[in-house]
DNA sequence: CTCCAGGCTGAGC
DNA sequence: GCTCAGCATGGA
């Protein structure tokens, strides 16, 4: 049997500094990336390969990471440029950001060293809002499970590598469900939040484009009236959609890491956020993510 | 069995 | 304003 030499379908994206797919995709900011293979070359421990398949919005991609360069397949040059590069935040210089965050701060320096290569994604605001509605009082593995079931059952099929993946559901697809329509997802009491929010979006109550032009405080006030949205979900939505990188979500882990590593930074969410805003300013969201990532493994 | 997980709602002060 | 039980579900 003659082996057919196919053209390499990979698109080379070149060297990407300050990138680690594991830290970026598994830190809890997104829930639809799967590691599909890891190889470590025995001859040199720097040469390795890390393969991921990810879905965001209605886009799917396979990423290959060799430790310094990214390549992609299952996508196109235009989709790469118009969606995935912005999504992966590749235009941002994380060396500068890390220097600003860790200047004179050994705690942050250690958190950054541990979470090296973690990048904040720029996710679709609708998808981010629903995802973090589901995240409340929940664990990351189960959030992944619920979100993936939600997409499989209600998201449009995306042909991918000879099989099918599923886009994140549209607001319309979720708004038409009755109260038990989401039971298959096992999201518990959060199902009602998801459906009611979808209905409010369809009714025109929520406009992601409007959200993107608002200052932080206004955007937060805009999100809070949604059923099931409190300050945590609102801040996560604004941070992980890339709309407001100064947002500083506070949960159990962040509270613990602040109380332990920054004693005196505050006892309430508001106090911690004031501390973060004063200390890290527009990069508070990235600081939060490094701290969250660090806290989950060390505290 | 209990406790916990990227919290929020509604009721009672 | 503030505190706090209750909430669905599954894993440790």
> Is the CB of residue A249 less than 8 Å from the CB of residue A232?
yes
Residue A287 has pLDDT above 60, yes or no: yes
Q: Is A104 within a domain?
A: no
What is the total count of domains within chain A? 3
Residue pLDDT, tens place only, A9-24 = 899 999 999 999 999 9
pLDDT above 90: percentage of residues in chain A: 91
Q: Is A113 within a domain?
A: no
| Helices A284-298/A269-280 angle, 10° precision | 120
Q: Is A112 within a domain?
A: no
> Is the CB of residue A119 less than 8 Å from the CB of residue A92?
yes
pLDDT above 70: percentage of residues in chain A: 95
Q: Is A216 exposed, middle or buried (0-12, 13-18, 19+ CB in 10 A)?
A: middle
Do both A198 and A263 map to the same domain?
no
Do both A162 and A218 map to the same domain?
yes
The Cα diameter of chain A in Å comes to 71
Residue A1 has pLDDT above 60, yes or no: no
Residue A2 has pLDDT above 60, yes or no: no
pLDDT band, residue A38 (cuts 50/70/90):
confident
Does the C-beta of A137 come within 7 A of strand C?
Answer: yes
Q: Taking residues A143-154, what's their average pLDDT?
A: 98
The domain that contains A22 carries what CATH number? 3.30.310.260
Do both A219 and A257 map to the same domain?
no
Give the distance, in angstroms, between residue A250 CA and nucleotide C1 C1'.
21
Do both A220 and A286 map to the same domain?
no
Supply the pLDDT for residue A7: 67
Does the C-beta of A71 come within 7 A of strand B?
Answer: no
Does the C-beta of A114 come within 7 A of strand B?
Answer: no
Do both A163 and A231 map to the same domain?
yes
* Chain B nucleotides covered by protein, CB below 7 Å: 4-10
Sign of CA dihedral A256, A257, A258, A259: positive
Do both A45 and A16 map to the same domain?
yes
CA–CA distances in Å: residue A82 to residues A14, A78, A88, A104, A165: 17, 6, 11, 37, 20
pTM for this prediction: 0.95
Q: Taking residues A88-107, what's their average pLDDT?
A: 97
Q: Is A174 within a domain?
A: yes
Phi, psi of A168 (to 5 degrees): -65, 140
Q: Is A206 within a domain?
A: yes
Do both A263 and A283 map to the same domain?
yes
Residue pLDDT, tens place only, A150-204 = 999 999 999 999 999 999 999 999 999 999 999 999 999 999 999 999 999 999 9
Q: Taking residues A247-275, what's their average pLDDT?
A: 96
Does the C-beta of A230 come within 7 A of strand C?
Answer: no
Nearest Cα to A258, choosing from A232, A229, A284? A284
Phi, psi of A169 (to 5 degrees): -60, 145
Has A81 been annotated as catalytic? no
Does the C-beta of A254 come within 7 A of strand B?
Answer: yes
Q: Is A102 within a domain?
A: no
| Helices A125-134/A140-154 angle, 10° precision | 130
Give the distance, in angstroms, between residue A258 CA and nucleotide C9 C1'.
29
Do both A148 and A52 map to the same domain?
no
Of residues 227 to 246 in chain A, which lie within 7 A of strand B by their beta carbon?
227-234, 236, 240
Residue pLDDT, tens place only, A44-96 = 555 589 999 999 999 999 999 999 999 999 999 999 999 999 999 999 999 99
Supply the pLDDT for residue A195: 98
* Of the candidate ranges A84-88, A137-141, A207-211, the one whose mean pLDDT is the lowest: A207-211
The domain that contains A206 carries what CATH number? 1.10.340.30
Q: Is A41 within a domain?
A: yes
Q: Taking residues A230-255, what's their average pLDDT?
A: 97
Do both A138 and A225 map to the same domain?
yes
Q: Is A111 within a domain?
A: no
Domain span holding position A266 = 252-298
The domain that contains A261 carries what CATH number? 1.10.1670
């Amino acid at each position: 049997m003659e082996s057919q030499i196919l053209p390499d379908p990979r698109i080379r994206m070149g060297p990407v500094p300050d990138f680690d797919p594991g830290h970026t995709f598994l830190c809890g900011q997104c829930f639809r990336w799967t590691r599909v293979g890891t190889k470590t070359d025995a001859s040199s421990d720097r040469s390795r390969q890390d393969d991921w398949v990810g879905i965001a919005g209605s886009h799917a991609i396979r990423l290959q990471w060799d430790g310094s360069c990214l390549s992609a397949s299952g996508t196109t040059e235009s989709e790469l440029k118009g969606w995935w590069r912005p999504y992966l935040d590749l235009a941002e210089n994380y060396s500068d950001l890390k220097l600003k965050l860790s200047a004179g701060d050994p705690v942050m320096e250690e958190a950054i060293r541990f979470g090296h290569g973690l990048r904040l994604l720029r996710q679709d605001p609708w998808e981010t809002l629903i995802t973090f509605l589901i995240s409340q009082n929940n664990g990351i593995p189960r959030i992944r499970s619920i979100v993936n079931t939600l997409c499989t059952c209600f998201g449009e099929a995306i042909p991918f590598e000879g099989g099918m993946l599923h886009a994140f559901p549209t607001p319309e697809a979720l708004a038409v469900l009755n109260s038990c329509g989401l039971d298959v997802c096992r999201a518990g009491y959060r199902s009602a939040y998801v459906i009611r929010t979808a209905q409010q979006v369809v009714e025109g109550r929520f406009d992601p484009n409007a959200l993107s032009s608002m200052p932080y405080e206004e955007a937060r006030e805009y999100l809070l009236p949604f059923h099931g949205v409190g300050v945590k979900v609102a801040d996560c939505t604004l941070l992980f959609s890339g709309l407001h990188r100064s947002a500083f979500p506070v949960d159990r882990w962040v509270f613990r890491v602040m109380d332990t590593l920054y004693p005196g930074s505050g006892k309430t969410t508001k106090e911690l956020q004031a501390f973060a805003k004063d200390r890290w300013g527009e990069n508070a969201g990235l600081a939060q993510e490094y701290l969250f990532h660090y806290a989950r493994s060390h505290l």
